[in-house]
């Protein structure tokens, strides 16, 4: 463990002409820490996640990441090839709609195996064994390894997407409303699964959610956004149990 943050945002801003996507967002994220970004629709949380994960170029600011060799780099300044390598190895991204994070015509095992091949694994037997192991870890029966994701339920697709992302032992995972659109009972099982995996693997996670119950269950710290700005931040229980800002108080009271 090091005192240097794993990920740091410095003055991250994204403008769409006169419209603000996010403005002047700064924070540090450490290994093993889960940060929830919350706010109503249009608050800027998804825009911020897209910039942090290099899927969207900012208008201003820097996103600093501590590489495995200890060097801190501005990932927004990396060339496309290096960013893609980072996303395939050290980072993961879990989409709200699992269809965006999976190859729907490729088998479940193939989806997991592709990620392993991206980090240099070429032995078919080892790839299949690792895929089987990960399907078990995300509670998908091993008999489904050759089934395509289009034959899966929404909850199973999301679990498969999580397996695909975590099989390369990333250090940082971005999650965009990972339980959105799922039935309540399915959400609860998925959240228990994610919480266990995050703890077991020591992952750093940035999760965007409009659901404060998800934030409370998964995150150590929370950032509340409104109109593109961070208006309150702190330890999750502290912010949710004793919100300082009127807007945060309104958000919390609306779900009580």
pTM of the model: 0.94
Q: Which two tokens stand for residue 216?
A: 């409370």
pLDDT of residue 161: 96
Topology given in CATH for the domain delimited by 7-90+170-254: Rossmann fold (3.40.50)
pLDDT of residue 157: 96
Give the pLDDT confidence of 95-110 residue by residue, as tens digits: 999 999 999 999 999 9
State the CB neighbour count (10 A cutoff) for residue 250. Answer: 12
pLDDT of residue 183: 86
pLDDT of residue 90: 94
Give the pLDDT confidence of 108-142 residue by residue, as tens digits: 999 999 988 888 888 889 999 999 999 999 999 99
Burial of 49 (0-12, 13-18, 19+ CB in 10 A): buried
Give the pLDDT confidence of 205-249 residue by residue, as tens digits: 999 999 999 999 999 999 999 999 999 999 999 999 999 999 999
pLDDT of residue 108: 97
Residues in a beta bridge with 230:
225
pLDDT of residue 2: 67
Strands 19-29 and 7-16: antiparallel
Report d(CA 235, CA 35) in Å as an integer. 9
Mean pLDDT taken over the chain: 94
170 in Cβ contact with 203 (< 8 Å): yes
pLDDT of residue 45: 96
Distances (CA, A) of 227 to 22, 46, 47, 53, 219: 7, 12, 11, 20, 22
Strands 60-66 and 7-16: antiparallel
Higher pLDDT, 14 or 124: 14
Of residues 47, 35, 46, 44, the one with CA closest to residue 7: 35
Of residues 64, 90, 52, 60, the one with CA closest to residue 6: 64
Give the pLDDT confidence of 151-207 residue by residue, as tens digits: 999 999 999 999 999 999 999 999 999 988 888 888 888 999 999 999 999 999 999
Report d(CA 51, CA 153) in Å as an integer. 30
pLDDT band at 38, cuts 50/70/90?
Answer: very high
Considering just the CA atoms, what is the radius of gyration of the chain in Å? 18
Domain boundaries, the chain: 7-90+170-254, 104-169
Question: In this structure, what is the dihedral angle of CA atoms 15, 97, 175, 69, given to the nearest 10 degrees?
Answer: -90
Of residues 159, 152, 61, 48, the one with CA closest to residue 107: 152
**Longest CA pairwise span in the chain (Å):** 57
Average pLDDT over residues 66-70: 94
- Whether 256 has a pLDDT exceeding 70, the answer reads no
């Amino acid at each position: 463990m090091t005192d240097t943050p794993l990920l740091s945002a410095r003055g991250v801003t994204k403008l769409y002409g006169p419209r603000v996507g996010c403005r002047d967002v700064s924070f540090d994220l450490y290994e093993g820490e889960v940060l929830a970004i919350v706010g109503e629709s249009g608050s800027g949380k998804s825009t911020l996640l897209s910039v942090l994960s290099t899927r969207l170029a900012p208008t201003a600011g820097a996103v600093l990441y501590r590489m495995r060799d200890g060097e801190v780099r501005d990932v927004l300044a990396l060339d496309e090839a290096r960013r893609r390598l980072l996303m395939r190895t050290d980072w993961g991204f879990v989409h709200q709609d699992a269809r965006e994070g999976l190859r729907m015509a490729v088998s479940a095992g193939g989806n997991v195996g592709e990620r392993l091949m991206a980090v240099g694994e070429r032995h078919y037997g080892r790839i299949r064994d690792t895929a089987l192991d990960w399907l078990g870890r995300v509670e998908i029966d091993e008999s489904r390894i050759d089934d395509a994701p289009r034959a899966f339920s929404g909850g199973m697709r999301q679990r498969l997407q999580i397996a695909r992302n975590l099989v390369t032992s990333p250090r940082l995972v971005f999650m965009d409303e990972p339980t959105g659109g799922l039935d309540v009972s399915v959400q609860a099982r998925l959240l228990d699964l994610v919480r266990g995996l995050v703890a077991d693997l020591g992952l750093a996670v940035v999760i965007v959610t409009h659901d404060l119950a998800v934030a409370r269950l998964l995150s150590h710290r929370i950032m509340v956004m409104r109109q593109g700005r961070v208006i309150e931040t702190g330890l999750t229980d502290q912010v949710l149990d004793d919100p300082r800002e009127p807007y945060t108080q309104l958000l919390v009271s609306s779900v009580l």
